Chains A and B, each alone.
Chain A
């Protein structure tokens, strides 16, 4: 993995106004994500992790601070296809009245770049995420929750993103599906070189997939650690901040 920086955040802050008072959701975030790495972002509910993902993808505008994509400052619009966001509520991203094939064809209109072989590419991407191309003739309601998530991912991959942001992709799934998803994300990362930012409160899963993990608390990045598989297996991961240690230990199985 080369250490070329694909995304850099400089003093990103985000505030919301409630009546007359305002609340700081993110405070001076500085962060760089390397090209083709898998970066995990973890923290508790309300820490600001989803907001940060939305700001990076341009779905929210920061109150202050700068964002750089390949070291060029950007606002959101100009990188629309390069940075994609998979919502936690991926079921709602599918139009229930539209056949899946039509949804894909619409993507072709958005994506001006022409695929040399449209049918083959559709098939390839569906197969990559573990779906058969039979689903093209289905309506979304004919698929299971897990299949809809893979379909949402396939649609995003169709736009050839360089950075994929996934918001809580493991939520309410069983361990067998989670393990399969982790394998899938790694495969996409290796085959297509896609950079991943995975937002999750499940630290053990992030440890299995990420190159680095950022810990966020009350809108501040407390620490970024490099993940060494040896430390994960030996449970000897030693973050330097008290907060990251606290979070790590809350997941260690403690037989009571």
Chain B
């Protein structure tokens, strides 16, 4: 197993709104290695989703300008044209987006959207069914024959994870993928992510505001505050004292609330 091989390296990433003086992300630097889970923790409005989207230039170029470097397998992907980027998103970097309702095309049944992916990537249908079973989506035929709007947010969120996991990319970027899930199912999804990272030698960038997930499941944790990554820590050292007051307050509140 190639361990500790840099899969994605971000250097000086900066996102700002064009024509305004507004900087959303500033001087973001981090690395995520193969077979590693990096959790990015932040409250609402700190720039978590913008960070997820900017890594493969998914932000509207008419509104946002992106500077800096994102090396994926040692290639600066922010310099690629849109076609090459699309190829990377299709084949190597899988996204689980925050809003499960926008993850599927509203005018096609779930089944058609999954079959399209089957053809594209040659994935046996059985893989989907197995993953659906593991996430308590057991009425396969009934669920697959629905349109996205007929399903709940929790179901779509699970299906969107199933779709990405089945396509087996090199890197998964997941933006609050458990926000609509009950804890028992959220735990099962985290286990599937773990298996993916271990068995596939893949990597996961997991974006969340849930510290219990960071504590139970990640290798490295980065804290995002007001567009800056202000603190990096290995999981074992999560509660080690820092001199950053906002992190002390956050972790102290969390410790009082967790089981």
A residues at B contact (CB < 8 Å): 44-45, 145, 172, 174-176, 178-179, 182, 201, 203-205, 207-208, 232, 235, 246-248, 250-256
Contacts and interface: CB of A to CB of B under 8 A. Distances in A.
17 contacts: A44-B184, A45-B152, A145-B44, A174-B250, A201-B182, A201-B183, A204-B259, A247-B184, A250-B183, A251-B183, A253-B212, A253-B215, A253-B216, A253-B258, A253-B259, A256-B190, A256-B191
Interface string B192-221: 001000000000000001011001110000
B182 to A, nearest CB: 4
B184 A250 contact: yes
B253 A176 contact: yes
Contact of B182 (A44, A174, A176, A182): A44
Contact of A175 (B179, B184, B216, B250): B250
A154 B249 CA distance: 27
A250 B183 CA distance: 6
A174 B44 contact: yes
B254 A175 contact: yes
B256 to A, nearest CB: 6
Nearest to A254: B216
Nearest to B37: A256
B5 interface: no
Contact of A204 (B43, B249, B253, B257): B257
B68 interface: no
Say what secondary structure dominates the interface of chain A: helix
Interface residues of B, number: 27
A246 B184 CA distance: 8
Q: Chain B binding site: helix, strand, loop or mixed by DSSP? A: helix
Given A201-B183, A250-B184, A254-B216, A207 B253 contact: no
B154 interface: yes
Interface string B220-259: 0000000000000001000000000000011001101111
Contacts of B258: 204, 253
A44 B154 CA distance: 11
B187 interface: yes
A176 B253 CA distance: 6
Interface string B38-77: 0000011000000000000000000000000000000000
A98 B217 CA distance: 46
Nearest to B155: A45
A145 B257 CA distance: 21
Given A45-B182, A178-B257, A248-B259, 9 more contacts: A174-B44, A175-B253, A175-B257, A182-B257, A201-B183, A204-B259, A250-B183, A250-B184, A253-B258
B179 A172 contact: yes
A243 to B, nearest CB: 10
Contacts of B190: 256
Contacts of A175: 211, 250, 253-254, 257
Contacts of B154: 45
B187 A250 contact: yes
Contacts of B191: 256
B194 A179 contact: no
A248 B211 CA distance: 18
A251 B152 CA distance: 23
Nearest to A251: B259
B253 A178 contact: yes
B191 to A, nearest CB: 7
A255 B216 contact: yes
B187 A176 contact: no
B234 to A, nearest CB: 13
A3 to B, nearest CB: 28
Contacts of B182: 44-45, 201
Nearest to B154: A45
Contacts of A235: 259
Contacts of B250: 174-176
Contacts of A253: 212, 215-216, 258-259
Contacts of A232: 259
A204 B152 CA distance: 25
A207 B257 CA distance: 9
Nearest to B186: A250
B257 A174 contact: no
| Residue in A44, A175, A204, A251 with the greatest tally of chain B CB atoms within 10 Å | A175
A174 B48 CA distance: 14
A178 B211 CA distance: 13
A179 B216 contact: no
A248 B259 CA distance: 9
Contact of B249 (A176, A208, A247, A256): A176
